[in-house]
Amino acid sequence: MEVLRRSSVFAAEVMEVFDRSPTDKELVSQAKALCRDYINSRLIQAGVSWSKPEYNAPVPGGKLAEVSTILLRLGDELEYIRPNVYRNIARQLNISLHSETVVSDAFLAVATQIFTAG
């Protein structure tokens, strides 16, 4: 819970820094970078390396890197609190991981649901 409190304080500090609202393009770019970093971290944690050469982690010491670190900690906290939600996702979705097409379709369907829900 301490992570959640510290992340809320950090989020408030970040919002104070912004004198303007970021553009949609900036938000999308930042969100993509954070998602890539989160997924890469989870793949490394699972023992799978990220082989794409275009992967660029947020610059160490930058605000995006700080946000990424907090996002990873929040992910850890959520997985700790509700482990059954985050384990065996393929089984929960009733899909086989033997086909890249099936995995891609499932990922896109889940992403669509998340973005549709807001």
Within a domain: residue 67? Answer: yes
**Residues 41 and 71 both lie in one domain:** yes
Number of H helices, E strands in the chain: 6, 0
Nearby residues of 57 by Cβ (< 8 Å), 6 or more positions away: 37, 40, 65, 68
**Residues 52 and 108 both lie in one domain:** no
Higher pLDDT, 109 or 1: 109
Contact call for residues 59 and 52 (beta carbons, < 8 A): no
Q: What is the pLDDT of residues 36-70, one digit of tens each?
A: 888 888 878 777 765 654 556 666 767 888 888 88
Look up the domain containing 37 and give its range. Answer: 22-87
Is it the case that residue 34 has pLDDT exceeding 60? yes
Q: Is the pTM of the predicted complex or chain greater than 0.75? A: no
Within a domain: residue 9? Answer: no
Within a domain: residue 60? Answer: yes
For residue 38, what are the CA distances in angstroms to 34, 87, 99? 6, 16, 23
